[in-house]
Amino acid sequence: MTSLPACVITVSDRSFAGEREDRGGPIAVGLLRDAGWHCPDAEIVADGIDSVADALRRAVARGVRLIVTTGGTGVAPRDLTPEGTRQVITREVPGLAEELRRSGLADTPLSVLSRGLAGVVDPAGALIVNLPGSTRAVASGVPVVLGVARHIVEQLDGGDH
């Protein structure tokens, strides 16, 4: 199986400022690598629409096919990852975001508060998925993403259903 390029973007003001260690990003990176994706260490960006959108656009421009964000999906004033993501994706994949919230209920009833999106970027053929920043949400969410990510990328490349 071909190793496809992936990346993880951690969205956190405190981690970006060096005030808190990024714990979710490395978990996501490890899971992606274990599944055969070529994934560098996580990039950390500050919360905000523009910082998220810019990081996503840079990843797409590098040819990354799967982009997983962690953090910034809640309802706090600086939780703007979905808004930044919406500026980059061309088509949403709502069922994937819904499944992440549904399956997250096994860990916490707060999973329903995630406003995370999933969507594709045309014509680049990239899949972007927003995960909450908690380590539990990342550890349980990445396997859900991995269950469909290769199929989505193949579909974006014109593969058969």
> Which of 135, 118, 139, 136 lies closest to 127 in space, CA to CA?
118
Residue carrying structure tokens 């550890």: 139
In this model, does residue 1 exceed pLDDT 70?
no
- Could you report the per-residue pLDDT of 32-88, keeping only the tens digit for each? 999 999 999 999 999 999 999 999 999 999 999 999 999 999 999 999 999 999 999
> Which of 36, 41, 39 lies closest to 5 in space, CA to CA?
39
Question: Strands 91-92 and 118-121: what pairing?
Answer: antiparallel
Q: Please give the CATH number for the structural domain made up of 6-156.
A: 3.40.980.10
- d(CA 30, CA 101) in angstroms, rounded, equals 22
> Which of 66, 71, 67 lies closest to 81 in space, CA to CA?
71
Mean pLDDT over each residue of the chain, to the nearest integer: 96
Q: What are the sequence ranges of the domains in the chain? A: 6-156
